Structure 1
Amino acid sequence: MDKTRVICFANNKGGSGKSTTCSNVGYGLTRLGYKVLLIDGDMQLNLSLSLFDEDQVLAFAQGEKNLYEGIRKQADLTDYIVHSPYEGLDLIPSSTLMSSIEYELFTKWQREYILRKCLATVKEAGTYDYILIDAPPTLGGWVMNILCASDEVVIPVESTPWGLFGLGNMFEFLEEVKQIAPELKLGGIVITKVDTRKNYFKQTLDSLKELENVKVFDTYIRVDSGIEWSQDNNVPIMAYKKSSRSAAEYMELAKEIAEQK
């Protein structure tokens, strides 16, 4: 690759599988030979918990080496990177104090671009092929920061009756962001929590396919208890149970994302 691709995983609706998708796509990309940096932008710490146990994640959150401290100080985020237990996969962990990040940003000059500036050295160094950012399920100044720092956005949408709820608001927000970050692209929508025995999946897929100029990834992620077990053990599904259905699906999704230019 000739440059680092920054991809954020965002949806203003909670429970869409953002953190799980971000983590497992990141791990999958490392299995394809890429070097990946994950950034946990959510106060819920789920992305961090997908790689480290609770004690370690809380230690990151309560210490000085987390995203909140880096953004608050407007520092070079190179110094906030921690190595995960997996080769080629690093992390900038989150903090529960991210709940007050909007307040921290409010009075800052060019506040929409603070994350972009803090990431500039990491991105320009070319150490990573991919930087994947997990955004919180909101639409505000911090998510705008994440989007402005990204080259593209992937939107996970759950295959449930309420899965599409609020997606229109997400698209409107993306159009607002493009006014100040016109290079931002919609990488695509990935359907998660699919139960092919139910009509919700076909209904969700048909509704998304009707959207103009919106890519829907061919790979979808089915409901799999293995994902919950991997989360309980603080490891990506491919590291927990490589033979599982969801491990294969996330590997295919990682390949689809890697094939995009």
Structure 2
Amino acid sequence: MVGQDPVVSRETATHQGVAKSLDDTPIAKAAERATRVLTPGAAGTLPRPPHRRIITVANQKGGVGKTTTTVNLAAGLALHGLRVLVVDLDPQGNASTALGIDHRAADIESVYELLLGEATLSEAAQKCPSQENLYCIPATLDLAGAEIELVSLVARENRLRNALDSAQLDALGIDYVLIDCPPSLGLLTVNAMVAADDVLIPIQCEYYALEGVGQLLRNIELVQAHLNPRLHVSTILLTMYDGRTKLADQVAEEVRRHFGAKVLNTIIPRSVKVSEAPGYGMTIIEYDPGSRGAMSYLDAAREFAERAVAGTGTR
């Protein structure tokens, strides 16, 4: 341009170059992703399943990301316009905490009352404060003694299935019910399996990942044979993946070889942010929506919902 000061031109070009380089930084990209996630309607919607799906999230090995997977998958589905109910069947109540439900309140109706027939589903289900489409039936410490109390009850294995009343679920418009199981194969987990159609197994990408899965699969077969012929393992999700280790790749390869199409393509990376989120009563999608963990769970939710509609990996 005629008459333009060459020094000013160089400064302008420098500022533009700096701005462009800042836009390409990991922080800027994370901020852009977070803005996209938090903008109403920006996440888009996912198709509703042809019929309501009740999924048990189970693995008797502790620390594999079972509760983390339940709450973040539920939040991802809800963010995409689907209505989700989380049933916290673990006496520790970690899923309730992560969803912002005060499960220590004295007068709360919980899954304990639901199992004993002292409360209905509509009385026990609470809307999560941060998600319009997400509900939770919380767990309290009373649930720790429920297995002993259930032993003497008639049809003890069917208590949860009978409590998940279709009419009340229809009234809430629920598309998915996700049941978070305790890290055991006791009567609470059996109730979850009798109530569900599908089992989702989170498998940690570490050395002991497959240890105990064989026993879990045998228990699922027993429930199939004697209590719930509809039950099947539909989904495997690899969690706590550390790309710096060869072991993680070896475990992932072994799981895919064994379970085939049932394994989601999405892998959940090991993340400090994912571990921190429940301490603030949040899912990772609320706590750090631009993080790799949040993006991975959103991708897993999308893949899970699309498979549900397409029928992929259901048998």
Q: TM-score range by the shorter chain?
A: over 0.9
Question: How does 1:177-188 map onto structure 2 within 5 Å?
Answer: 177-179=223-225, 180-188=227-235
Matched residue, 2:275: 228
> Deviation of residue 226 (structure 1)?
1.2
Match of 1:163 among 188, 202, 209: 209
Q: Which amino acid aligns with 1:251?
A: L
Q: Distance in 2 between matches of 1:187 and 1:123?
A: 22
Taking the aligned partners of 1:124 and 1:239, their CA distance within structure 2 comes to 27
Relative to structure 1, the CA distance from residue 9 to residue 212 in structure 2 (aligned partners, 3 Å threshold; closer, same or farther) is closer
Post-superposition offset of 1:29: 0.4
Shift of 1:110: 1.6
How far residue 232 of structure 1 moved from its aligned partner, in angstroms, is 1.9
CA distance in 1, matches of 2:118, 2:97: 25
Corresponding residue for residue 21 of structure 1: 69
CA distance, structure 1, for counterparts of residue 114 and residue 262 of structure 2: 34
User: SS of 1:157's equivalent?
Assistant: strand
* Number of the residue aligned with 2:82: 34
SS at match of 1:116: helix
* Match for residue 114 of structure 2 among 70, 90, 96: 70
Whether 1:81 aligns to 2:125 is: yes
Give the root-mean-square deviation of aligned CA atoms. 1.6
What is the CA-CA distance between 1:217 and the residue it aligns to?
Answer: 1.0
> How do 1:72-221 and structure 2 match up within 5 A?
72-73=116-117, 75-85=119-129, 86-121=131-166, 122-125=168-171, 127-179=173-225, 180-211=227-258, 215-221=262-268
Distance 1:148 1:123, change over 3 A: farther
Q: Which has the higher contact order (CA 8 A, sep 6+)?
A: 1
Q: Which amino acid aligns with 1:150?
A: A
Q: Is the 8 A contact 2:72 2:284 kept in 1?
A: yes
How many percent of aligned residue pairs carry the same amino acid?
Answer: 32
Cα deviation, residue 255, structure 1: 0.7
SS state at 1:161 partner: coil
Can you give the 5+ residue segments of structure 2 that lack an aligned partner in the other structure?
Answer: 1-47, 309-315
State the Cα deviation string for residues 97-132 of structure 1 (Å, max 9, x = none). Answer: 211121121112221111000012434546111111
Counterpart contact for 2:220–2:232, Cα < 8 Å = no
Tell me if the contact between 1:74 and 1:118 (Cα under 8 Å) persists in the aligned partners: no
Q: Which moved more, 1:202-211 or 1:191-200?
A: 202-211
> Aligned with 2:104: secondary structure?
helix
Q: Please report how far the alpha carbon of residue 229 of structure 1 lies from its aligned counterpart in structure 2 after TM superposition.
A: 2.5
Separation in 2, partners of 1:157, 1:212:
11
TM-score by length of 2: 0.78
Match of 1:7 in 2: 55
Tell me the SS of whatever aligns to 2:103. Answer: helix
Distance 1:185 1:255 in 2: 21
1:58 aligns with 2:143: no
Please give the per-residue CA displacement for 1:128-160, whole angstroms capped at 9, x wherever unaligned: 111111011111221111011111110001111
Number of residue equivalences: 257
**TM-score, normalising length from structure 1?**
0.93
Deviates more, 1:229-238 or 1:5-14: 229-238
Deviation at 1:64, TM superposition (A): 4.1
Show structure 1 runs of 4+ deviating over 6 A.
none
Tell me if the contact between 2:98 and 2:282 (Cα under 8 Å) persists in the aligned partners. Answer: yes
* 1:16-69: CA deviation from partner (whole Å, max 9, x where unpaired): 10111100000000111101111110011110110227xx2311xx43411111
- Amino acid aligned to 2:53: R
* 1:4 Cα deviation from its structure 2 partner: 1.7
Q: Which residue type is aligned with residue 96 of structure 1? A: L
The 10-residue stretch of structure 1 (28-37 or 116-125) with the greater mean CA deviation from structure 2: 116-125
Higher Cα radius of gyration: 2
Q: Match of 2:313?
A: none
Task: Tell me by how many angstroms 1:257 deviates.
Answer: 1.1
1-side partners of 2:82 and 2:161: how far apart?
Answer: 22
